[in-house]
Amino acid sequence: MTPFADDPIATWGLRAVEVIRDRPSRWTGRGVRVAMLDTGVDRAHPDLAARVVAARSFVPGCPVDDEIGHGTHCAGTAIGFKTSAGRRYGIAYGADLYVARILDRTARAEIATVIAGIDWALSHDCHVIALPIGIIDAVPSPEFDAAGRRALDADCLMIAAAGPYWTTSVSRPADADGIMAVGAVDQWLNPMACPPPAAEVGTRGQVDIVAPGARIYSAAPGAKYSTQNGTSMATAHVAGVAALWSEAESLRGRALWRRLIGSAQRLRWSADDAGYGLVTAPTEQGVGSRD
């Protein structure tokens, strides 16, 4: 196949997940609350400032404003819009953004801190919680299983990065049964190269869905932009598309999960590693139908 590529109109990821086909999707995520749990967000970034409704840091001594760039980048893909030059890179630009900082300055997180961020997002009745993080730890974490169930019972869908070893072992919290695990594909829609794990890093060995994660262009602190790679970037794509489906069909929680996997594009290697396939945005023909 011909690889997807960024062009003057949009990034390749938005075209791959069909946010932009012949014309842009008419859904924007309006009325949907998306929580980004990461390194915080640059709340002054011109593409994000108007979207931030609430923000809080759960890391002692660390501000909610992003010092690393990871959270800003993921938020840009999920709910940003376009650069001043006109290239669109964000998906659900009408959604409301809730920001919880759960990673410290070394991009590490404690389980208790992540759970606190999740509960904060649920207290704000968020519909989608993005967790573009991965905790590599062989010790089971029942806290994440409970949090996933708690979120679904509250009609909220949690979406998490499957981590660098995702084709063989899914990291936490994505390995929890109630949290959607996301793998990453490149511009050819092939799985991104994953190094072999040094040890078991998760309890579930297969992702639920995949999304663009290679050479993803998005927002960066200081009104700038950067290109990053990984399942975190893929998670941001899925969170943005989830907001579009949530708006288009008034879906929440478990129903939204079923819609995402039911509308995914099957890939030739899906049965092995890609779960249900590539996440796909709602279209005029697809909304209201059931696969």
- Please tell me the predicted confidence (pLDDT) of residue 192: 87
Please check the confidence at residue 84 and state whether its pLDDT lies above 90: no
The pTM assigned to this predicted structure is 0.94
> How far is Cα 118 from Cα 132, in angstroms, rounded to an integer?
13
Supply φ then ψ for residue 37, to 5 degrees. -105, 110
Please check the confidence at residue 94 and state whether its pLDDT lies above 60: yes
CA distances 201 to 44, 51, 134, 196, 213, Å, are 36, 35, 10, 11, 20
DSSP state string for 211-266:
EE-SSEEEEETTTEEEEE-SHHHHHHHHHHHHHHHHHHHT--HHHHHHHHHHSPBP
> How far is Cα 27 from Cα 38, in angstroms, rounded to an integer?
25
- Please tell me the predicted confidence (pLDDT) of residue 199: 53
**The two three-digit tokens of residue 49, written as one number:** 């400032």
* pLDDT bracket for residue 205 (50, 70, 90): low
Strands 180-185 and 33-38: unpaired
| Residues annotated as part of the active site | 38, 70, 232
Mean pLDDT of 87-114: 95
DSSP state of 49: G
**The two three-digit tokens of residue 93, written as one number:** 């630009």
Neighbouring residues of 49: CB distance < 8 A, sequence distance ≥ 6 = 43
Residue 51: name the closest of 105, 94, 108, 112 by CA: 94
**More confident: 284 or 270:** 284
Burial (CB count within 10 angstroms: exposed 0-12, middle 13-18, buried 19+), residue 51: buried
- Please tell me the predicted confidence (pLDDT) of residue 112: 93
Q: Which of 56-70, 78-92, 111-125, 138-152 has the lowest mean pLDDT?
A: 138-152
* pLDDT bracket for residue 196 (50, 70, 90): low
CATH 3.40.50.200 fits 28-274, yes or no: yes
Please check the confidence at residue 23 and state whether its pLDDT lies above 90: no
Please check the confidence at residue 193 and state whether its pLDDT lies above 80: no
- Please tell me the predicted confidence (pLDDT) of residue 286: 63
**More confident: 18 or 268:** 18
Q: Which of 4-8, 77-81, 91-95, 104-108 has the lowest mean pLDDT?
A: 104-108
Neighbouring residues of 275: CB distance < 8 A, sequence distance ≥ 6 = 181, 183, 206, 207, 208, 209, 210, 261, 264
**The two three-digit tokens of residue 225, written as one number:** 């932009």
- Please tell me the predicted confidence (pLDDT) of residue 268: 81
pLDDT, one tens digit per residue, over 139-177 is 667 999 999 999 999 999 999 999 887 777 888 999 998
DSSP state string for 55-66:
EEE-STT--SS-
Residue 263: name the closest of 273, 271, 275 by CA: 275
- Please tell me the predicted confidence (pLDDT) of residue 109: 87
Strands 216-220 and 224-228: antiparallel
